[in-house]
Structure 1
Amino acid sequence: MRVVNLTEMPDMVEVLAPWHHEEWRDLYPNESLDDFKTELAKCLGPDAVPATFIAIENGELLGSISVLPRDMEIEENWGPWLANFYVKPEYRSLGVGKMLIEALLAYCESNAVPHLYLFTPKTRQYYERLGWETISTEKYHGQIVDIMLRQL
């Protein structure tokens, strides 16, 4: 398995966007599948942020992770954010997610990103084990989410 920048395989936007839309449409009720495609396409540019990385094995897409300038519509001007962290269900608990996070953290550190935020409605404990700190719990689009921070 390898992790590559989405810029190396831009056609994967067409595969990722439906996965992301299906997984998170409740958290982004005003965003369409095309909006998800547009967001991923922004990661194909030359800037360090935004960027998306994908896990590939034998030509099969296994998952994704992004660093985005903003991922929540909140008053605080926090950023950048770990976002679009998705692993196909049949590959969960096999180390794919950890590999994606490690690749993203290394990328951010090499691009002088001092810290990352994320929010999660379900997996706070997973991120705590990886060194993230919960800084706030908020109601967001009808769900309770934990906002977390990791210094790099």
Structure 2
Amino acid sequence: MQIINLAHAPEVIGTLARWHFDEWHTLYPEETLEDFQTELVASTAQGTVPSTFVAQVDGNVVGSISLLPHDMDIDEPWTPWLANLYVHPDYRQQGAGKQLVQHLIAFARRNSLDQLYLFTPSSRDYYEALGWTLLRRQSYKGQQVDIMLLALSETGE
């Protein structure tokens, strides 16, 4: 598996936008497929945040992960956020998600970020196994979600 910056593979933006929309539109019912695509395009600009990375196997896109300034509309100053971790169903349970998370963490460290945040409605155990800690559980857009933190200076990875 190869992980590359989305800026080097803009031709997959349409595919990723469709996958992300199908996966998360219930959390963001006010957003259209085009909104998801616009967010991905924005993450191809030069810089650290936002950024999106794409996992490929034999030249085919199989997943993605993003680093965004914000991923929740909440009254907290927390930034940046791991977001858009998505692995195509045909490639799940094979380590692609973990490799994407590790790639994003390494990228954040190289760019001197001190911490990362994320929220998840259903994958708390997965992220805890990767070193993340629970900050709080709350209702968000009609779902119970876990907000998690990874302090990069303390994980030693």
Normalized against structure 2, the TM-score is what?
Answer: 0.95
Alignment of 1:84-123 (within 5 A): 84-123=84-123
The one-letter code sitting in structure 1 at the alignment partner of 2:9 is M
Q: How many residues are matched?
A: 152
* Aligned position for 1:34: 34
* Aligned position for 1:21: 21
Distance 2:30 2:79 in 1: 21
What SS does the corresponding residue of 1:35 show, helix, strand or coil? helix
Identity level (%) = 50
* Aligned position for 2:60: 60
After superposing on structure 2, the runs of 4+ consecutive aligned residues of structure 1 that deviate more than 6 Å are: none
What SS does the corresponding residue of 1:28 show, helix, strand or coil? coil
Instruction: Write out per-residue CA displacement over residues 19-77 of structure 1, whole angstroms, 9 at most, x where no aligned residue.
Output: 00000001111110000000000111011100000100111111000000000000112
| Structure 1: runs of 5+ lacking an equivalent | none
* Aligned position for 2:2: 2
The Cα shift of 1:130 comes to 0.3
Distance 1:38 1:13 in 2: 9
Instruction: Write out per-residue CA displacement over residues 90-142 of structure 1, whole angstroms, 9 at most, x where no aligned residue.
Output: 11110100110111000000001110000000010000000000001110110
The Cα shift of 1:12 comes to 0.9
* Aligned position for 2:143: 143
Distance 1:31 1:138 in 2: 22
The Cα shift of 1:14 comes to 0.8
What SS does the corresponding residue of 2:37 show, helix, strand or coil? helix
Normalized against structure 1, the TM-score is what?
Answer: 0.99
* Aligned position for 1:43: 43
Distance 2:6 2:44 in 1: 7
What SS does the corresponding residue of 1:119 show, helix, strand or coil? strand
Distance 1:101 1:140 in 2: 23
